[in-house]
A and B are shown apart, each in its own frame.
Chain A
Amino acid sequence: MRFHGRGGQGAVTAADLLALAAFEEGRYAQSFPSFGSERMGAPVVAYCRLGEREIRTREPVVAPDCLIVIDPTLVHQVDLFAGLGPDGYVLVNSTRTLHELGLGSLADRFRPERLLTVPATEVAQRQIGRPLPNAALLGSFAALTAQVTIEAVSSAIRERFNRNPSVAERNVAAAAELFQQARQLMTANGRAVLSAPPD
């Protein structure tokens, strides 16, 4: 998985949370940032690998199975889709459709049922009171890819924010809402909702 965001949006935390969720389900996981001198607003990349045995490689994820785009303004600035295979997943945080984002052609290159946009910032603003979409977006990730359960995502959020249970619960609620929204969008678009992890 490769997460694209801007400094301050929590891309690194999102990658860490996903690794924690997978760990809690008994899998091996590795997450790490792109090691830049991060500052607010600068493009940030974070990585996460999930596996059934120890993950040894330390190279960045150059051929991701899934892209999670936390900031849609990056889509035309950074070569986001580099290395994404034809079976890859794309999850974009935006109130707009891929077509409206100027990414309509993605449907020609990738499987349309694996492309999804969700309004994570808006949901976060409403549920958390701050425009921090990172943890919530993992709810949609769980729905889209079935790589982790929404229960594991919620549990990871609670562990990470265990010193502030109120923040944790609001993030859990936002993740749950985006999990449901993603499922509805996928069903509405006539897509089969995955119930088990893909091969």
Chain B
Amino acid sequence: MLRQIEGSRAVAETVALCRPEVVCAYPISPQTHIIEALGELVKTGELTPCEFINVESEFAAMSVAIGASAAGARAFTATASQGLLFMMEAVYNASGLGFPIVMTLANRAVGAPINIWNDHSDAMAARDAGWVQLFAETVQEAADLHIQAFRLAEEVSVPVMVCMDGFILTHATERVDLPTQEQVDAFLPPYVPRQVLDPADPYSIGSMVGPEAFEEVRYLAHARQLTALGRIGELGAEFAEAFGRDSGGLVHPYRSADADVVVVAMGSVLGTIKDVIDTQRAAGHRIGALGITSFRPFPIDAVRNALKGARRVVVVEKAISVGFGGVLSTDVAMTLSGLPVPVATVVAGLGGRTITKTSLGDVFEAALGDQLAPLTFLDLNRGLVERELERMALHRRSGPTAENMLRDLGVTGSRIG
């Protein structure tokens, strides 16, 4: 049914349609509304049977999800930012043990300095944790990906993280087509655990594995992700058939077939990028985009095929590998190895910095004119940076950088963009 609905609410109602039997979470912005809504659905009896467990930390949230999954329950949790980092040991355990937990990550920057706004630093910190990571472009896709996530996770025995941009998607209302219970039931069969703690058939889960088999366990984890890679595309196609919408899949090309410049990105910024591309296409430029939905497993062949005809590739990403540059762009560049297609990185939107059509347009025009530097920080306030460098050069005890910069700017809480 078509609804005008907040992103968090849409995700919560969709997760409820997936019939989770245990929902455990610790609230953290911007994930809070998802968990509040699910708590409400459990309390009112709309989501039943389901146990909603208030836990004392994110570490407990993931640990309880692991326990629930080991007991044979379909388990869901959600977090963001420092919450993900706090649960990280258990995040690795969930994938290492092969429990098909689904988690929403309401993407948010990682401190310090503390910042509640959106970027992809949290998801990138968990890149190698063994989870499937899917990125949603719209609220609709965020909701739809959860249905596919449970099916994928349980089929392949890998936990799945559905990444949706904090605030930009979690707190936005837009038109969303929410499926019926019958539709979801037809797509998502009941969970049949591959391993379960059963007093009638006791065994232990979580043994210590030494050098004799650790590499093999890890190899199998990699093999399961490669299986997932194949299934993500198939499930996306099956979902489109059943629900009538193109949500999920590995990648989403946009006007890229004949493009000189292809812009690669993940998440909600793709909408803004598409608007800019339409404007530049209308001006006669051959430019297109490639949205990457599946970041882990990374669709090497699909990305290479989509980009190999381009003259230049621009990766716009909301994260930075400090001391190196892009994260996503490293993967993209690897898919193009051996091809004469240069990859430029544009770091944008860190800590919630607005990504404007104007600034994207300038960067894309520079790329079309072969003028774009290998690494660009979008809308970097160079004066602010240089003044802090001067203060640091002038005084040994120049004090905390973040506070100095805020004092320098002199304004907080009055921004419009």
- Chain A positions within 8 Å of B, measured between CB atoms, are 2, 12, 16, 19-20, 23-24, 28-37, 42-43, 45, 54-60, 62, 77-79, 82-83
Q: Which residues of the partner chain B approach A2 to less than 8 Å between Cβ atoms?
A: 416
Minimal beta-carbon separation of B14 from chain A (angstroms): 18
Contact A56 B272 (CB under 8 A): yes
B residues less than 8 Å from A42 (CB atoms): 413
- Which parts of B227-277 form the interface with A (CB within 8 Å)? 268-269, 271-272, 274-275
- Whether B286 is near chain A, meaning CB under 8 Å from some CB there, is no
Q: Does A32 lie within 8 Å of B167, measured CB to CB? A: yes
B167: which of A35, A43, A57 is its contact (CB, 8 Å)? A35
Given contacts A16-B6, A32-B168, A35-B118, contact A57 B357 (CB under 8 A): yes
Q: A33-B171, A42-B413, A59-B355 are in contact. List 6 more A-B contacts (CB 8 A).
A: A23-B175, A34-B415, A57-B272, A58-B172, A58-B269, A78-B416
Q: Is the CB of A35 within 8 A of B352?
A: yes
| A28-B175 contact in complex given A20-B4, A79-B416, C-beta closer than 8 Å | yes
8 A-B pairs closest in CB distance: A56-B271, A23-B4, A32-B172, A35-B167, A60-B417, A20-B4, A31-B173, A57-B272
Q: How many angstroms from the CA of A23 to the CA of B274 in the assembled complex? A: 23
What are 11 A-B residue pairs whose CB atoms fall within 8 Å in the complex? A23-B175, A29-B174, A30-B174, A32-B171, A43-B414, A57-B272, A58-B271, A59-B356, A62-B356, A78-B414, A79-B416
Across the interface, name the chain A residue whose C-beta is closest to B3: A23
Give, as a whole number of angstroms, the nearest-CB distance from B277 to chain A. Answer: 10
Decide yes or no whether B147 CB sits under 8 A from chain A.
Answer: no
Cβ distance A162 to chain B, nearest Cβ, rounded Å: 13
Task: Give the Cβ gap from A43 to chain B, nearest Cβ, in Å.
Answer: 6
Contact B354 A60 (CB under 8 A): yes
CB of B402 to closest CB in A, whole Å: 15
Q: Given A32-B171, A32-B172, A35-B171, is A56 in contact with B416 using a C-beta cutoff of 8 Å?
A: no
Say yes or no for B116: interface residue by CB 8 A criterion. yes
Hey, what's the 0/1 contact readout for B140-176 against A, CB within 8 Å counting as 1?
Answer: 0000000000000000000000000101100111110
Task: Identify which of residues 64-118 in chain B touch chain A, using a CB-to-CB cut-off of 8 Å.
Answer: 116-118
B417 with A56: CB separation less than 8 A:
no
**B-side contacts of A23, CB under 8 Å:** 4, 175
Chain B nearest CB from A158 CB (Å) reads 14
The size class of the interface chain B forms with chain A is: 20 to 34
Interchain CB contact under 8 A, B414 and A59: no
B residues less than 8 Å from A56 (CB atoms): 271-272, 274-275
Question: B357 to chain A: which residues have CB within 8 Å?
Answer: 57, 59
Most A Cβ at <10 Å: residue of B6, B174, B271, B415: B174
The distance in angstroms between the C-alpha atoms of A57 and B6, with both chains bound, is 16
Interface centre among B271, B357, B416, B417, by most chain A C-beta atoms within 10 angstroms, is: B416
Query: In whole angstroms, what is the CA distance A59 to B358 when docked?
Result: 10
| Interface residue SS majority, chain A | loop
Chain B residues within 8 Å of A43, by CB: 413-414
Q: Mark B1-22, 1 if CB is under 8 A from A, else 0.
A: 0001010000000000000000
- Report B-chain residues with C-beta under 8 Å of the C-beta of A28: 174-175
A31 and B356 in contact, given A45-B416, A58-B272, A62-B416 (Cβ under 8 angstroms): no
Of A16, A24, A62, A77, the contact of B173 (CB 8 Å cutoff): A16
A37 contact from B4, B6, B116, Cβ within 8 A: B116
Q: How far is the CA of A59 from the CA of B116 in the complex (A)?
A: 18
Residue of B nearest to A62 (CB): B417
Nearest chain A residue, comparing its CB with the CB of B271: A56
Chain B residues within an 8 Å CB radius of A32:
167-168, 171-173
> Would you give the shortest CB distance from A67 to chain B, in whole angstroms?
11
| CB within 8 Å for A30 and B272 given contacts A19-B4, A59-B417 | no
Contacts of B168 in A (CB 8 A): 32, 35, 58
Measured between beta carbons, the chain B residues less than 8 angstroms from A77 are: 414
Q: Render B158-200 as a binary contact track against A, CB cut-off 8 A, 1 for contact.
A: 0000000101100111110000000000000000000000000
Closest Cβ–Cβ distance, residue A192 to chain B (whole Å): 31
Q: How long is the Cα–Cα vector from A24 to B417 in the complex, in angstroms?
A: 28
**Residues of the A chain whose Cβ atoms lie less than 8 Å from the Cβ of B4:** 19-20, 23-24, 29
Which B1-54 residues have a C-beta within 8 angstroms of A?
4, 6, 29-30
Question: Interface 1/0s, chain B 307-328, versus A by CB < 8 A?
Answer: 0000000000000000000000
Q: Mark B329-369, 1 if CB is under 8 A from A, else 0.
A: 00000000000000000000000101111000000000000
Q: In the bound complex, how far is the Cα of B271 from the Cα of A57, in angstroms?
A: 5
**Given the complex of chains A and B, what is the CA–CA distance between A59 and B272 in angstroms?**
7
**Contacts known (A59-B356, A59-B357); A30 close to B417, Cβ less than 8 A:** no
Within 8 A of A (CB), among B105-137: 116-118
Name the distance in Å between B226's Cβ and chain A's nearest Cβ.
33
Closest CB in chain A relative to B280 CB, distance in Å: 14
List B contacts of A12 (CB < 8 A): 171
Residues of B within 8 A of A34 (CB): 415-416
